[in-house]
Structures are given as C-alpha cells and as structure tokens.
Structure 1
Amino acid sequence: MQSLVFLCARRLLSHRPSARRALPVLPSELYPVLFRAAFLDNRVLALQDLVVSWPFPVLSLPCLLGRCGHEQHRGHRAVPACRVCIQALIAAVMAHVGPQQPPSARPCQLRLLDLTGLQDDAPGPDRAPEGMSLWSGTAALAKACLEASRRQAEHRQRHSKRRRGPSGCSSLPRAITVEIRADLFVNGTSFGILRDALRATGCPLRLRCRDLHAEELSAGAIVALLECLDPGGVRRVDLRFNNLGLAGLCLVVPELSRFPELLSLKLPYSNVDARRQAAGADAGFRRLATHLGKLRALRELNLGSSRLSGKMRQLLRNLESPLESLELAFCYLLPGDLTFLSQSIHAPALKKLDLSGHPFTESLLQPLCSLLESSPSLIHLDLMECQLTDPRLEALLPSLCRCSRLRCLGLFGNPLSTPGLKTLLRQTAVLRDLCLVVYPYPVDCYNREPPQAPVASSGILQDTLDEERFTAVSAELCRMLVSSGRDNAMWTASLCRHGTLDYFAL
C-alpha cells in the first residue's frame, strides 16, 4: 500500500512547473520520496530538477528505491534499470560538475551517486522496452566520464588564456567532484572506453567499481582493467567465458590481491583442464593455489566447468578463511576431492554449494553424503544433471535432511520417477525452511515413440513429455504440500523459477 506522502509527491510531480517552483521551499526530508515517485513514474525532467538541487551529499538508488512500497522493489531484489531515468541521472550529475553549473535556488550538495545493484535487463524476449542492460549502463557511465573530462580540460584551457588583474594571473574556481559507484559489465566491445574512463585524470566524475563482470577478454586486457580500478570497494570479480586457461588465470589472479575487500571470485568457463600433461601444469596449479591463498577476504569461489579432477586439496588448502559459497558444476571431481571438502574448514561454513553435472554413482555418492553431513549451514544446494535415480536419491536423503537450514534445492535433469519425487517430498518435511525445489520431469511422464517423418524409418525412439500426465503429477505434489502444511513452498520443474540465491543475499 502506498503512503499518503508518496501519493502527494506523485501528484505534485505530475505538474512540473509547480513542482519546480516548490522545490526550493520544500523540506529536505521530502526529497527522497519525491525522487522515488519521479523514478517510478519515469519523470526524467523532475529527476533532473531534484538532482541539481539535491540537499544531501549522497544519492543512493539502492537505499531510495529499496522500500518504495512497490512489490518489485522490496527486499533484496535488484533495482530496475530504467534507461531514460538512468540517462537523466547521469546528465544531471554531468551538469552539476560542469564548468557552468545550472542555476538553482538550493545549491546541490551531491558528492556521491550510488548506482550499484541495478537489475541487468539483458536483451531477450522478456526484456522491458524501457530497460537498460548492465553493459549499456557501464558504457553510458564511461562515456559520461570521458565527456566530463573533455569539458573540464577545455574549460581549463580557455581559463588559462584569460588575463585578469595587474599580475596577469587568473584563478580557476575549484571544481566539484562526484564519485559514482556502480557495478560494471565489460566485454571486448566496451573494454577500450571503460579503460580510458578509469584512467582519466582530473575528471570531475570518479568512477568506482563494486562488482566487475567481464566476458570474452584476454588475460592481458583483464589485467589492464584491474590495474585501473581503485582497490577499495571492489567486492566481486566475475570473469566468465574468457577462455583464460591455467596460464591466463596465473596472470589474472595475482592482480586480485590488490583488492582487500574482495569477497567473491567467479571464474567459470575458464578452460582449465587438470588432465592435460602440458609442461609446467603442476607449477601452474601451485602458483594459482598460492595466489588464491592471498585473497584474505574471499568467501565465494566459482570454478565451474573446468576439469579439476584431483585438484581440490591443492587449490583450496592455502585459504586461511573458510568459503561460504562454492560452485564446482561440471568439474569432473573425484571421490578424493569430495572427501577433502568434507574434512576441510570450508564444509561447516558452506551456505551455498553447486555440484551439478557430476555422476553420483556409488563411488561419489558416499563422499557426497559425508560432505552434506559436514555442512549443517547449507542454505542452497544444486545437484542438477547428476544421474540421481530413485535409489540413489533415497540413499542420499538421510544426509540431505541433516541440512536443517536448507532453503533451495535444485534437482533438475535427474532421472527421477513420480514415486521418487513423492518420497523426496515426504522425507524433506523435516526441512521447515525449504521453500524452493526445482525437480525434474518424472521419467514416467515421458512417452517413447518414433520421431516424426521424414526420419521415422530410422527406427530410433525419442522421448516426448506427456503434458497431461505431468500436469496431474504436479497437481498431486501441490496437494501433498498443502496437506503437510507447506503450501507456502514452491515445487516447480521450471528453470525460469529457479531463483538461484546470490551469495550477498544469503
């Protein structure tokens, strides 16, 4: 429900001339609610008026929009990145730091603009027409910094040519500087402009990074970018699809020790293969492990989709503080790797664990049970595409049910039957916090039939989902949840509803 103050703010902003005249005499305490109303209604001119007379040193979107009374903004959800609103904010801040600031009856006090936590509205069928991707927002900020730097340089050049007073000297007014904190997304297309923006000297806009996401960059480009970042405030580095290999990681990871607050390091799809017997591979793993051990604040590590068979002990043993999130999907782990994890300092501290893509046959199943029994703090567990059959899942359930804090469980892609899912639902009734289970389509809901012409003559059978049978199974699972008093839990076979918990929301 919207507050009366919010409704009044929305009504005032509906008529810009009246709002603009009222701003100088309104109490400063009303500016946050006016900002929320302007942002939610996409009133870009009103947003600019508010920014150029902002009465506080900090303007933080996560704080201002986190409790606006609208469902999509509640809790830990990301702030929706409205393209026109973000562009309006950037333009207003550029005007504020410009050589000729716009006239305002109330001088702007802004020194910090916090744009972190914006939802990445990436291109796709569900993208809102007015949305802005994280990549586009990063490019817009980089361009703004370069433009502000250019204007400042031109103003200094013009000012230096002027002669005032008997001494012939002229004093340049002290420039206003605004720090912009943001999450940055960069790839090969935007690398150059972001690097130049971070390197710009004397720029009145100082771009600071909280979370860095980089894709499809070389190791040298990533190192160059990391060298440009201010060491303070960087909490996550996410490097995916960069094909770095072991040699590339040995170049990049040492640079991360510059960031004392680095909590999360994601290195999926890095193309590391422990099976390769290339010269220097053992030395490379030792070097990588040494530099991982220097990341004193590290709490989350993602090494997904690299072949790390037999390397867990070597890679993680130098970490002095326990990890709370560990993602090792499709890493071809061996029983000894899971045994090490179950006996390590990390197991009792783990809140999130992803072991998807490992075939949990008898040789891996017992070490997995030991790991789960050693991880009582586990909140999020992914075991997708792990060849878990009904008997294997039943053998796993006693250990799984000891994870009393478990909230999310991912089992999609496993060959489970309807009776197996019912057993899972009944046995996990003791997990009172379990609110999301992503289960697979039951194997008994598939029909085996020959493919359609023209390849039917090949005799090859294919599986097709019996939608009616699956709908009946889904309805029965829902009835079981209601009858057991867990009607608030969601059991779904839709990966779109997966809702993977981010480490910072655990």
Structure 2
Amino acid sequence: MSRAEPLFAGGGPSSRRPSPARPSPLLPRSRAAMHSLVFLCARKLASHHAAARAALDLLPRELYAVLFKAAFLDGRTLVLHDLVRAWPFPVLSFRQLLRACRHCDRALLQKPSKLCVQAVLLGVVAYLDEALQDRQHGSSKRRCLQVLDMTGLQDDGVDHGPESMSLWSRTVTLAKACIDLSKRQSKCVERTSKRRKGPYSSAVAPPPPRPVSVEVRVDLFVNSTSYGVLKDALQSNAHSALRLKCRDFRAEELSIASTVGLLEFLDPGSVRQVDLRFNNLGLSGLRVVLPHMAKFTNLVSLKLPYSNIDVRRLSAGMEGSLHYFAAQLGRLSRLKELNLGSSRLSGKLRQLLGDLQGPLESLELAFCYLLPSDLSYLSQSLHTPALKKLDLSGNNLSDSLLQPFQRLLGEASSSLLHLDIMECRLTDAHLDALLPALCRCARLRYLGVFGNPLSTRGLKTLLQRTAALADLRLVVYPYPVDCYAEQLPWPPSSSSLLNGSVDEERFSRVSAELQRMLLSSSRAGAVWTTNLCRHSTLDYFSL
C-alpha cells in the first residue's frame, strides 16, 4: 500500500473568526514528554513498517493501543492502516487511545494529523472491503471491529496548519468514504445475487454470511459547501457497512429546508448537542426547525447564535412564534446548555426560559440587548443556582444592569465555574462594585473581561482580590487604557479598544508586573493573558 492519500480535495468553510489578539508573555512553558520503555519500543517498531506488519500476528492484544499511539505520534500512516485492519477489539476510540496515559503523558487529541486520521479511515474502509469480499465468497472469517469512535478530537477553529485536520474536513472525508463504500457494497450484493440465481445454483442456497458493519461515532460540521455530500452519506446510513452516528451536530449558513433535511437523518438517541449558527433562521425559521429536535431524547446542549432573533418590536403573528419557540424549548426535557448569543431578547427572557422543565447549567446571552428585568428574572429563576457557565458579553453592565448583575452573580456564586463579561463597558469603578460578589465565586476557573476599559490599577486590584480563588486558572484581560499610544475617547467604545494602537513597551512592563504579582501570590500556575485565540475557553461538557 502506498502512503495514505487524502480522500477529498478542496478547502474548508470560510469561518467568521476574531482576528488573533496580540501575543501575551504569560504563556505556560512546554515540557518534555515522559515515555515508558514499552512506548519507546513501540516507536522503534513503528518506524519499520515491514517489521511492524510481520509482528502484528504475534503481538499481544494489550500492546495494540501502545503501538497505535506511537504510530500516530510519529506519523506512521502505513502502520496505522495495518493496525486498524487487524484491530482485535470491538471498539477503536481516538479519545481513549490518544489521551495521556502511563506509557506517554502527551495527549494527541488537539489538531490531529490529517494523514494519520485518513490512514485510520482508509484502514477501516479496507477492513470492510475485505469483509464484503469474504461475504461474497461465503467466508465466515471472524472480525472484531464494530465501532470507530472519532469523538473527542478537538477542533478550536483557529490556526489549522496544512498538517492538521479540521472538523469540517473530517466530516467531508467521512461522508465521501461512506458513499464510496456504499456503492461498492451495492455492486458486491448485486454480483452475489446474480450468482445465486444462475442456472447451476443449488436448489437450496446456504444462508448468506452475517453482514459486517462499523458504526462511526462522530461530531459533524456542515455548511452549504458540504451539505450535499453529507446528506448523501446520511441517506445511505441504514444499509451501509459504514454508518455515521452523530454526537454533536453543527451547521453554518444553511437554509431552513437543508437544516431540517439533515436533522431528520440523525440518529435520535445519539445526538447530545445541536449547534446552528449564521443560518439567519429568525423566529419564523426556528418555529419550523425546533419541532424536529424533540426526537433527540438525549439532547443536552442547544446553540442558536446569530439566528437573527429580534423580539423588540413583535407583530401579533411574531408574538405567537415567540410563544411557540418557548414551548418547543420546554419539550427538550434534558436541556442543560442554551446559547442564544447575538439575539435581541430585550425584556423577553422570562418568557423564553419559563417553560424549561429543569435548570440550565450553561447560558450564553452575549450581545442580547438585555434589560434590568431580564437579569432580575434570571437572578430569581431556578437556573441561577445551577449555573456553571454564564456569558453576558456585549451587554452594557455599566449602567442600569450593574445592580441586577451583582445580585445575579451572588445567587450563582456557589456553582459558577466560567464567567464571560467581555465588552461590557466595565470601568475600574464598576469592577470595584462587582468584586465582593465575584470573590464569593469560590469555584471559578475562567474569567473573561477582555474589551472592557480597565486601567493598570484596576487590573492589579482584580488580580489581588481574586488571588484567593484557588481554582481560577485562566483570566483573559484587556489591554489597560493607560497602555494605548493615543488618548482614547471616554468612555471608550469596544471598537476603540479593539482597534486602538497599544504602546507595546508600556504594556510589556504591565504584563511583567502582573506576572510578578502572580508569583508573589503563589499563583504561578494561573494564566493571565490578552490572547483570545491561544487559550480555548471551557466547553460545557468539560466543566
């Protein structure tokens, strides 16, 4: 077999991403990975393809996992291909095989190698091709592999180099593999059927061998470019030897009909998250789409950012759509995470969340034009004492929302792990008012205050007061207003803060001083950074 070749050609989606922030000096240093003697031997074996192939029949089953990770680490695609074809277990899970372990403390789940992922997929396809050939010739050879679990491969959406494989690319690659294999399977069945019906076939034909199939558990990301190929793959799912079972489904820039069409093909029991963004659905579109989600009995997370929802001036008909939308949300009995970011929800939060059957643990309401009544409702609702993640970025917390937000923060203090209040127009004085409630959030792990007009003094106060929060490991802070090269208008807008010119020398001194303060507070392990892209925020399922 030649070196694993790409299964597809073409580029990925054009994502709307923030431009990379300026690098921060407060980044953790890398350390050398620790490898066991067994792992070092596995790497040596994987470096010689012929020897590794010859050893597979003699290799104890428990060493397959070590050899898989060693081959993945060093990009030994031919060895990976052979390992998969001979896999001696029912399940091959990327999440289990590539995590940190006692043989190798390095995790390989972040930005996985494109060639290695493709080699594994090609190995699975070859495994199924052999099974189809065996079936055609009546062989009863026992085969073990039943499940390929590709969930857990992490895709932060930025800095994808040519060697890595994005979630969009994995989706397209898998879809094309499913379609190609389904076509070959159909031809194989047709040839087998013709032979059985031939003039010299026996009167009583033997029963066909049990069909072999592999279930692929996967997260899917689709947009208008990849919609057609994914739909074809999902349509062939029922009878294909390679069957997609989606865990997290994400769709961007799809029409209502296309979105519904794909949701209808997803397995009802396997979907835990639906993420629909940039789809311009509006309330009328969501009224069509949402009923199709009630069948997902294990749906925990629903994300609908940038859905063009505006409830500020509702006609009589749109008022009915809002009621219907809220009622459909109420049907999602296991919902724990809801993202309505960039919707205009002014004064309607009680109506939207009032029908939910249980408390939310993650609520994202960034840039939602919230009113004091919204935060007052939230602070008294069943959701707040259970909230682990709260994102209120882009709402003006500096004015009439400040006191309701203080109360909300106090009510959520016992459970809150992740707080985003970026671009909320908070000055030093506002932060001083919030600090007593913020410092009661003893379990807080992440705090995002980027894009707020804070000074160096305000940042120092924030660091001093939150140093006692032992779990606070990541703070994304703004460039101090006194570090800008030019005089900012006051109060500065978010665009002024984002686009203004920073005096790098002055900011470097402030960064170094913050680092010294962390060291003197015995918090050297905490990361304070201005970089929005380098450090991914906490995902709900990892809280």
State the TM-score bracket (shorter-chain normalisation). over 0.9
Shift of 1:135: 1.0
Partner Cα distance (1:426, 1:274) in 2? 41
Shift of 1:127: 2.3
TM-score by length of 2: 0.86
The correspondence of residues 175-254 of structure 1 with structure 2, limited to 5 A, is: 175-200=211-236, 201-254=238-291
SS at match of 1:208: strand
The correspondence of residues 293-304 of structure 1 with structure 2, limited to 5 A, is: 293-304=330-341
Partner Cα distance (2:486, 2:269) in 1? 58
Deviates most, 205-214 or 40-49: 40-49
Shift of 1:166: 3.5
Q: Look up the match of 1:80.
A: 111
Q: Look up the match of 2:125.
A: 94
Deviates most, 429-438 or 227-236: 429-438
Deviates most, 9-18 or 229-238: 9-18
Percent identity (aligned): 60
State the one-letter code of the partner of 1:11: K
Q: Look up the match of 1:403.
A: 441
The correspondence of residues 69-218 of structure 1 with structure 2, limited to 5 A, is: 73=107, 78-98=109-129, 99-100=132-133, 108-120=143-155, 122=157, 126-162=159-195, 163=198, 164-167=200-203, 169=205, 171-200=207-236, 201-218=238-255
State the one-letter code of the partner of 1:88: A
Task: Note closer, same or farther for the CA distance 1:388–1:483 as it changes in structure 2 (3 Å cut).
Answer: same
Q: Look up the match of 2:74.
A: 41
User: Is the 8 Å Cα contact of residues 156 and 172 (structure 1) preserved in structure 2?
Assistant: no
Task: Note closer, same or farther for the CA distance 1:44–1:295 as it changes in structure 2 (3 Å cut).
Answer: same
SS at match of 1:94: helix
Partner Cα distance (1:180, 1:463) in 2? 48
The correspondence of residues 14-29 of structure 1 with structure 2, limited to 5 A, is: 14-29=47-62
State the one-letter code of the partner of 2:41: C
Shift of 1:310: 0.7
Partner Cα distance (1:466, 1:298) in 2? 46
Q: 1:386 aligns with which of 421, 424, 434?
A: 424
Query: What whole-Å deviation, never above 9, does each CA across 1:412-432 have from its counterpart, x for those lacking one?
Result: 111111111111112212312
Task: Note closer, same or farther for the CA distance 1:30–1:272 as it changes in structure 2 (3 Å cut).
Answer: same
- Structure 1 residue ranges, 4+ long, deviating more than 6 angstroms after superposition: none
Shift of 1:171: 5.0
Q: Look up the match of 2:7.
A: none
Partner Cα distance (2:470, 2:50) in 1? 55
Task: Note closer, same or farther for the CA distance 1:474–1:340 as it changes in structure 2 (3 Å cut).
Answer: same
State the one-letter code of the partner of 1:252: V
User: Is the 8 Å Cα contact of residues 61 and 79 (structure 1) preserved in structure 2?
Assistant: no
User: Is the 8 Å Cα contact of residues 111 and 166 (structure 2) preserved in structure 1?
Assistant: no
Q: Look up the match of 2:9.
A: none
Shift of 1:169: 4.8
Task: Note closer, same or farther for the CA distance 1:447–1:92 as it changes in structure 2 (3 Å cut).
Answer: closer
TM-score by length of 1: 0.92
RMSD value over aligned CA atoms?
Answer: 2.1
Q: 1:487 aligns with which of 513, 521, 524?
A: 524
Q: 1:323 aligns with which of 328, 337, 360?
A: 360
Q: Look up the match of 1:256.
A: 293
Task: Note closer, same or farther for the CA distance 1:479–1:401 as it changes in structure 2 (3 Å cut).
Answer: same
Instruction: Work out whether 1:425 is the aligned partner of 2:463.
Output: yes
SS at match of 1:147: helix
State the one-letter code of the partner of 2:219: D
Query: What whole-Å deviation, never above 9, does each CA across 1:239-276 have from its counterpart, x for those lacking one?
Result: 11111111111111111111111111110000000113
Q: Look up the match of 1:441.
A: 479
Partner Cα distance (1:425, 1:89) in 2? 46
Partner Cα distance (1:448, 1:189) in 2? 44
User: Is the 8 Å Cα contact of residues 380 and 409 (structure 1) preserved in structure 2?
Assistant: yes
Q: Look up the match of 2:450.
A: 412
Q: Look up the match of 1:291.
A: 328
Instruction: Work out whether 1:477 is the aligned partner of 2:508.
Output: no
Shift of 1:17: 1.8
Task: Note closer, same or farther for the CA distance 1:170–1:189 as it changes in structure 2 (3 Å cut).
Answer: farther
SS at match of 1:73: coil
Q: 1:366 aligns with which of 397, 403, 428?
A: 403
Instruction: In structure 1, list runs of 5 or more residues that go unmatched.
Output: 451-461
Partner Cα distance (1:439, 1:67) in 2? 30
SS at match of 1:192: helix
Partner Cα distance (1:413, 1:177) in 2? 51
User: Is the 8 Å Cα contact of residues 110 and 155 (structure 2) preserved in structure 1?
Assistant: no
Task: Note closer, same or farther for the CA distance 1:230–1:463 as it changes in structure 2 (3 Å cut).
Answer: closer
Shift of 1:119: 2.5
Q: Look up the match of 1:337.
A: 374
Shift of 1:129: 2.1
Query: What whole-Å deviation, never above 9, does each CA across 1:303-348 have from its counterpart, x for those lacking one?
Result: 0000000111011111111111100000000000001110011101
User: Is the 8 Å Cα contact of residues 6 and 33 (structure 1) preserved in structure 2?
Assistant: yes
Partner Cα distance (1:350, 1:60) in 2? 31
Partner Cα distance (1:266, 1:400) in 2? 26
Partner Cα distance (2:134, 2:117) in 1? 20
State the one-letter code of the partner of 2:123: A
Query: What whole-Å deviation, never above 9, does each CA across 1:447-477 have from its counterpart, x for those lacking one?
Result: 3279xxxxxxxxxxx9532211111111111
Instruction: In structure 2, list runs of 5 or more residues that go unmatched.
Output: 1-33, 489-498
Number of residue-to-residue matches in the alignment: 489
Higher relative contact order (CA 8 A, sep 6+): 2
SS at match of 2:40: helix
Shift of 1:168: 7.7
User: Is the 8 Å Cα contact of residues 171 and 221 (structure 2) preserved in structure 1?
Assistant: yes
SS at match of 1:464: coil
Q: 2:307 aligns with which of 270, 273, 281?
A: 270
Shift of 1:238: 0.8
Partner Cα distance (1:101, 1:36) in 2? 30
Q: Look up the match of 2:97.
A: 64
State the one-letter code of the partner of 2:465: Q
SS at match of 2:155: coil
Partner Cα distance (1:410, 1:379) in 2? 12
Partner Cα distance (2:463, 2:251) in 1? 40
State the one-letter code of the partner of 2:116: C
Partner Cα distance (2:373, 2:281) in 1? 26
